[in-house]
Structure formats: structure tokens, C-alpha cells
Amino acid sequence: MESIEAVTARLRADHPVGRIAGNLREVVYGGNDGIVTTFAVVAGFAGAAMGGDTALVGAVAVLLFGLANLFSDAAAMGLGAFLSARSQRDVYFAVRAAELAEIHANPEAERTEIRDLLRAKGVSAADAAQFADLYIRHPELAADFMMRHEMGMADPSDEVPSVTALTTFTSFILFGSIPLIPYF
């Protein structure tokens, strides 16, 4: 029998999603914050530097403070994205372990919950009962189903916190550089 990893890899190869699409949230979040915060710093220093003889010094100060802001905020955003992704992953697996324990301790109650969730999604009573019976015979699948449909939590197994952090950092730097371009 083919492993779940092999099946998943094969199916993903048939239905590819680009790297950016897989990390779009981080690209948008990092990019938006990069533009806004760097623009705010640049605008503030540019406005403060407006005044006759200090124009050249003002432009250098704007550039220095803009770059300092750019890299320090990008590092903070990247670290925040890493810690957030790792924390979300830890919480998911702790809640999933508790759900799995519930399935083993009280399968009848969990069968009823699965059936009720399926019925609420429009599945017929007979089909919902069959699905619930099938899920309860496979506790790992039942736990995955309950995490998604009862707890509303998506499996973060494919999310790599370091990639999330690097994507956020890079997006922040790229988009956050835009307000600095006139000062180079």
C-alpha cells in the first residue's frame, strides 16, 4: 500500500500550486507592512528635514533611518511570523491529541458529533451514519475530520515556520524598499 506522503506528493504533482500562492498570506502581510511602515518613517524624516541648508543632510538621514527601519522591522516581522507559525502548529497538535483521546475514550459520543456535523453540511442521515461509522473505525481520520469541522482548525503540517519567516522577511524588504528608491 502506498504511504500517505507518497499519495499526497503524487496528487500535488498533478495539481501544482505555485510557491507564491502557497505563501501568499506572508507575501501580502510582509509587503503591506513594509511599504506602510517604511513610508511613514521616510515621510516623517523627509518632512522634518525640509528646510534650506540641511537638504543634503536630511536626504542622508532619511535614507539611514529608512534603511534602519526597513531591516529592523523586517527582522521583527520575520521572527513574529516564525513564532506565530510554530505556536499555531503546537496548539493544533495539542488539540488534536486531546480530540484523539476523546475518540478512544468515548467513540459513541464522537460518532454522534461526526454524524451531526455531516448532517449540518447537508449529508443525508443514512450517508452521515455510514461516514461516521467509517471515521470511528479509523481514529486518526476521525481526529483530522473533527479538527477541521468541529474545531475549525486547518492542519499546519505543510507549513514550515522558517519558510514562513523568510517569506515575510523577504516580502517586507522588497516592498518596503519602494519608499526609499527616490533617496538612492
The three cell numbers locating residue 38? 517604511
Question: Residue 120: inside a domain, yes or no?
Answer: yes
Residue 39 predicted with pLDDT over 70: yes
Chain mean position to CA 21: 12
What local confidence, expressed as pLDDT, does residue 113 receive?
A: 95
The count of structural domains within the chain is 1
| % of the chain exceeding 70 in pLDDT | 92
Q: Which helix (H) or strand (E) holds 16?
A: none
As a whole number, mean pLDDT of residues 37-60 equals: 74
Q: Using CA atoms, how far apart are residues 24 and 51, in angstroms rounded to an integer?
A: 42
Mean pLDDT of the chain: 89
Question: Residue 77: inside a domain, yes or no?
Answer: yes
Cβ burial 133-157 (10 Å sphere, 16+ → b, else e): eebbeebeebbbbbbeeeeebeebe
Range(s) of the domain holding residue 39: 22-183
What local confidence, expressed as pLDDT, does residue 92 receive?
A: 97
pTM: 0.78
Question: Residue 119: inside a domain, yes or no?
Answer: yes
Of residues 173 and 46, which shows the higher confidence score? 173
What local confidence, expressed as pLDDT, does residue 61 receive?
A: 81
Please state at what angle helix 125-137 crosses helix 139-149, rounded to 10 degrees.
120
Confidence of residue 119 (pLDDT cuts 50, 70, 90): very high
Q: Using CA atoms, how far apart are residues 39 and 42, in angstroms rounded to an integer?
A: 5
